[in-house]
Amino acid sequence: MTLTFAPKSQAATPLTLLTDADYDGWLAAQTPEVQSWLGALGFTAKLGATALVPDANGGVRFAVAGLGGAKAKTRGRFGLAAVAAALPAGDYTLANPADISDLDTQLLGWLLAGYRFDRYKNQASGGARVVCPDGIDGARLEVIAAGEALTRDLINTPASDMGPMALEAAAQDLAKTHGAQFETILGDDLLAQNFPMIHTVGRAADQAPRLLDMRWGTDGPKLTLVGKGVCFDTGGLNLKPGASMGLMKKDMGGAATVLGLAHMIMALKLPLQLRVLIPAVENAVSSNAFRPGDILQSRKGLTVEVNNTDAEGRLVLADALAYGCEENPDQIISMATLTGAARVAVGPDLAPFYAQNDATAAALNTAADQVADPVWRMPFWDPYEKMIEPGIADLDNAPSGGFAGSITAALFLRRFVDNPQYTHFDIYGWNPSAAPARPKGGVGMGARAILAALPEILDL
């Protein structure tokens, strides 16, 4: 599957895009034949409405499509993707690109409308392609679409084919593609090299736990991405109920998202030094699974009381974050499908994030608005620190009471970070219902906002 623009060709059908507000004025300027034809079709400029206008020989003279009104724009992200999905197969060229204020984002939506997860079933891809207009960096948009497609493919693949070994292979393939260095710390070597919590969480699974470490670039500021790679989460001995376990193939969504973002960074050859750390494990149930009440050692030396084995993501991230901070990067970002509390707080569309630095948070908010990748800042609320201090150990992995679950998880992670430039994303990684350019299933969250904010965050 390739998400690319159509080549420039005189055979491409001109496509005029119209909002509700523009349609009547545009129609009044058309010939009586066009007015009659569109009237007979009952065409309106509602979102996703399309019509082909014939020429005198019965061919297609041009196409027209609706982008809806103000409500359609504020309630959705990729109006042009709805058009792409509705058009007949063929190549199209935009007749009025200057009329679209967020043209880059809308064209990305068109590309993403062609995404299909077809590993297990043949799926017809969208046959409508668009020519990239002059003045638009089409190559950049194709790179971003490819990174998003990688993230979606990884999340959508079930744990039977996306366990720790397969996640390692996917990361290694990405490293080879871009000439990056790659290392895996596997199984009991995690203990020998002081990653005790990654080992503890993953030791009960058939596939050994591992830490994936990818490096790219030799000059520029240092960016470290840490992605939660729990390839399936049963909940451990605190077993999840069936309804909660059904989507746990997506619990490596943080890893999938940082790999998609890494592809974007490397393919665009951004002038920075990138490191990607992924603790890849399966939280399984077996005789040697870690238990409620266990007290774990961590790489940083902090002890952690396990009050729920289903709060395992923060444990594996903690060791990886501590490791990543040892090189003092200019920015360290973790991404994880970490808490249900985040979903309750902001739902499935928004990517909540925690930032130590106000300027970083402002840059992310601005970039998110520009690229239609919505984020929402949450607080590192210091008064809740006492909630993660159980008394018997330095930290509690699952404070009782149910309050502020996403915040306390973020505070837990912050204890392992010795870097003032730390940002944490508590993402969902799943689109529960289909929308233009965003089919039901795995989805990247926050990656495009980070990519757009990097020039300011890292002073590139």
pLDDT at residue 81 is higher than 90:
yes
Position 2 scores a pLDDT of: 72
pLDDT at residue 73 is higher than 70:
yes
Report how far apart, in Å, the C-alpha atoms of 337 and of each of 248, 284, 350 are: 10, 17, 13
Closest CA to 371 of 438, 449, 423: 449
pLDDT at residue 83 is higher than 80:
yes
**DSSP for 128-178?**
EEEBPPTTS-HHHHHHHHHHHHHHHHHHHS-TTTSSHHHHHHHHHHHHHHH
Distance of CA 236 to the CA centre of its chain: 26
Banded model confidence at residue 1, pLDDT cuts 50, 70, 90: low
Q: Minimum mean pLDDT among 124-138, 327-341, 344-358: which range?
A: 124-138
What confidence tens digit (pLDDT) does each residue in 403-435 have?
999 999 999 999 999 999 999 999 999 999 999
Mean of pLDDT values over 197-217: 98
pLDDT at residue 224 is higher than 80:
yes
Core vs surface per residue 160-182: b (16+ CB within 10 A) or e: eebbbbbbbebbbebbeebebeb
Position 101 scores a pLDDT of: 85
Give the CA dihedral 158, 163, 165, 169, nearest 10 degrees: 40
What SS3 class is residue 224?
strand
Position 271 scores a pLDDT of: 98
Query: Domain 13-133 carries which CATH code?
Result: 3.40.220.10
Same fold, 13-133 and 143-457: no
Q: How wide is the angle at C-alpha 32 spanned by C-alphas 28 and 38, nearest 5°? A: 75
Q: How wide is the angle at C-alpha 409 spanned by C-alphas 251 and 371, nearest 5°? A: 65
Enumerate the domain spans of the chain. 13-133, 143-457
Position 10 scores a pLDDT of: 87
Residues forming the active site: 240, 314
What SS3 class is residue 326?
coil
Which CATH superfamily includes the segment(s) 143-457? Zn peptidases (3.40.630.10)
Q: Minimum mean pLDDT among 7-11, 14-18, 366-370: which range?
A: 7-11
Position 346 scores a pLDDT of: 97
